[in-house]
Every structure is written in C-alpha cells, then in structure tokens.
C-alpha cells in the first residue's frame, strides 16, 4: 500500500469503448482521480458515480479528470454511463490486476460471509504522478463532498 507523496503506479487499461487509457499519458493533460467501486448499477455505486458526475465542473475546472474502475465489462460500463448520464470514463478491470496494483482488492465480510472483493477506494494523482490523497474503504454516500473539501474545491 502506498500513501500521500508516493509515486502512483503507472498502468495501461481498457475503457468502456474499447480504447486504451494510460495513466502517464493522461497526466500530461490533467491530474487524475482514480476511484475503485464494486459494481455498475448497484445503489451505492450509482450514488457515488452520480456524485462524481455532478461534481465534474468543479473538478474539471481545477484540473482533475475522474476515472472509475470496476470488474464489469465494456458493455456493462457503457450501459451504466448511458443510463446515469455519466460524463467520465470507466476502466474495465476484469482480472482485478489494477485493483491489486492499487490495493483496492481484498478480503471483505458481509453478513458474516467472508469473500474477496473490490475495496471502495479513491486515489488523487497529481500531474507530477504522485498520490496527493488516498482514501480506502470510503463510503459511497458523501464521499465526493468529502473529496471536494480535501481538494479545497468546496
């Protein structure tokens, strides 16, 4: 696990439209807010995604690009984007390699059952490629408002 000030691990991944996303290339244009969530179109994940959608102007004008990451397929991501009017890209991480790289995959417990799953996490990556803020086990509701405060954008 890494923390604020550490170098963000570089990666290349596939977006919902099949195109490629490379972190280092993206950082040439803006900082990146990389957030990991469990599943498209579920209540908590929809709330969080819509909060990021609604904060796009504030984040974008401050030089941040939002990118969501889950294990869902390109088709699922595209449906989620279309249904919710999302204004940012979603990464397909069907093999969990990106989740694991960022420490967003691990053991979870729900109703007494233990299983491996996505750990809702957000990483704010500066244009210099360092972690400016890291949040693990964040709550879906209120997370974006907290992030806006952390970034002094509220």
| DSSP result, 8-74 | PPP-EEEETTS-EEEHHHHTTT-EEEEEE-S-TTSHHHHHHHHHHHHTHHHHHHTTEEEEEEES--H
Handedness of CA 61, 64, 65, 67 (dihedral sign): negative
Among candidate residues 45, 67, 119, 125, the one labeled active-site is 45
50 is catalytic: no
Q: Which residues 6+ apart lie within 8 Å of 5 measured at CB?
A: 130, 131
The residues carrying an active-site annotation are: 45
């Amino acid at each position: 696990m890494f923390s604020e000030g550490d170098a963000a691990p570089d990666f290349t991944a596939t977006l919902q439209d099949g195109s490629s996303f490379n972190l280092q290339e993206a950082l040439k244009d803006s900082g990146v807010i990389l957030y990991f969530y469990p599943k498209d179109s579920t209540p908590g994940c929809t709330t969080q995604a819509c909060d990021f959608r609604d904060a796009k102007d504030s984040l974008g004008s401050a030089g941040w690009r939002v990118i969501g990451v889950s294990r869902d397929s390109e088709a699922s991501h595209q449906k989620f984007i279309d249904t919710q009017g999302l204004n940012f890209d979603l990464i397909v991480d069907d093999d969990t390699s990106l989740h694991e790289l960022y420490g967003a995959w691990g053991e979870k417990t729900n109703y007494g059952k233990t299983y491996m799953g996505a750990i809702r996490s957000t990483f704010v990556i500066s244009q210099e490629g360092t972690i400016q803020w890291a949040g693990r086990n964040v709550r879906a509701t209120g997370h974006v408002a907290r992030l806006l405060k952390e970034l002094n954008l509220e």
